[in-house]
Amino acid sequence: MTTAEFNNVVLPGTDISHIIFKGDICKRNEKTIGPGLKTMDNKIIVCNSGVLRCKDDKYFWVEYYKKKYIPTKDDVVVGIVSSKTSEVYKVDIGAAELATLPNLAFTNVTKKNRPDLKVGNVLAAKVKIATPYMESSISCVEYANSLILGQLENGFVITVSVNYALKLKKSSSSLLFSLGQFVPYEIVVGANGKIWINSGSIRATIAIGSAIVNAEYLEEEDIQNLVKRFNKSLNNLH
């Protein structure tokens, strides 16, 4: 789509049905609306201020800045254990409520062989149940070919906005790759904006964390400069 209507700023309360349907009423059933849009009285209304996006002339959504994570099924999130009972762990995943993690929702765990997590431990998990009317439920069970989930030992957790976390997960983001050229590190980027980093030394871990935080609003060229500066400061340490 190259028309002027898309990639433009829209405000809540704006009726955009005329942009989406644009004459072809017969194709009504094929259109899909996503985040930031809602239907009301047969009209499509914007409900978040951001940029209107369109894909294949079929999918429409509003891209907007948000810091608060709203759980979505099958998202991989990073959480911090905040309390435990005999049956479940309560995990802070940055959403409105704590998520529940059943004791048995781990790989190779039986009733006799329980996982040993303590309050304050960090873990990677997948969201299994996500509805606003219930506590969300997460699980660390791994299947064949799935990501490695479970406790993340050592390391350091930083929190960024949800949009930035999604941007980092995209393959087009060069930052994580460029940082890896200079220092080996492990990273888990949760869809909830929590990022877990671990590397050989504490100083390098903190340097990577601050580089990621600082790169949030930078353009691609500036990221390269930031990475160069990052490398210089790391070398000075040795």
Partner 1 sequence: MNSPQCKLGYLGNTEGSAFFSQGKTAVCVSVVGPFEPKASKSMYDRATVDVTFRRKTGSISVHDKMLEGIMQSTCEIALNVEQYPRTSIVVTVQEMQDRGNLLSTCLNASCMALIDSGIAMHHLYAAVSCAVTESEEIILDPDELQINSSVAYFTLVFSNSETRRLLTSHTTGEFSHSTYVHCMDKCFAASKEIFNFYKNIVKKSSIFN
Half-sphere exposure (Cβ direction) of 48: Cα atoms closer than 13 Å: 15
SS3 of 13, please? Answer: coil
Which among 11-19, 100-108, 191-199, 225-233 is the span making contact with partner 1, rule CB under 8 A? 11-19
| Residue 73 engages partner 1 in binding (rule: CB under 8 A) | no
Residue 79 backbone phi and psi in degrees, to 5: -135, 165
| Residue 34 engages partner 1 in binding (rule: CB under 8 A) | no
Instruction: Give the distance, in angstroms, between the CA of residue 213 and the centroid of all CA atoms in the same chain.
Output: 14
Based on CB atoms, which residue is closest to partner 1, 97 or 153? 97
Q: In angstroms, give the least distance from the CB of 73 to partner 1.
A: 17
Interface map 195-224 toward partner 1 (x if CB under 8 A): ----------------------x-------
Q: For the segment 79-108, give every residue that binds partner 1 (CB under 8 A).
A: 96-98
Q: In angstroms, give the least distance from the CB of 65 to partner 1.
A: 6
Write the CA distances from 180 to 185, 205, 230, integer angstroms.
Answer: 7, 12, 11
Based on CB atoms, which residue is closest to partner 1, 59 or 65? 65
Contacting residue, 47, 129, 158, 206, with partner 1 by CB under 8 A: 47
Question: Which amino acid, 15?
Answer: D
Which among 18-26, 63-71, 192-200, 222-230 is the span making contact with partner 1, rule CB under 8 A? 63-71
Half-sphere exposure (Cβ direction) of 29: Cα atoms closer than 13 Å: 1
28, containing H or E segment: none
Q: Which residue's structure tokens are 């995990």?
A: 91
Euclidean distance between CA atoms 10 and 62, whole angstroms: 8
Instruction: Give the distance, in angstroms, between the CA of residue 183 and the centroid of all CA atoms in the same chain.
Output: 24
Residue 105 backbone phi and psi in degrees, to 5: -90, 45
Based on CB atoms, which residue is closest to partner 1, 45 or 129? 45
Interface map 13-32 toward partner 1 (x if CB under 8 A): xxx-----------------
Binding site for partner 1 (CB under 8 A): 7, 9, 11-15, 36, 38, 45, 47-51, 63-68, 96-98, 132-133, 163, 217
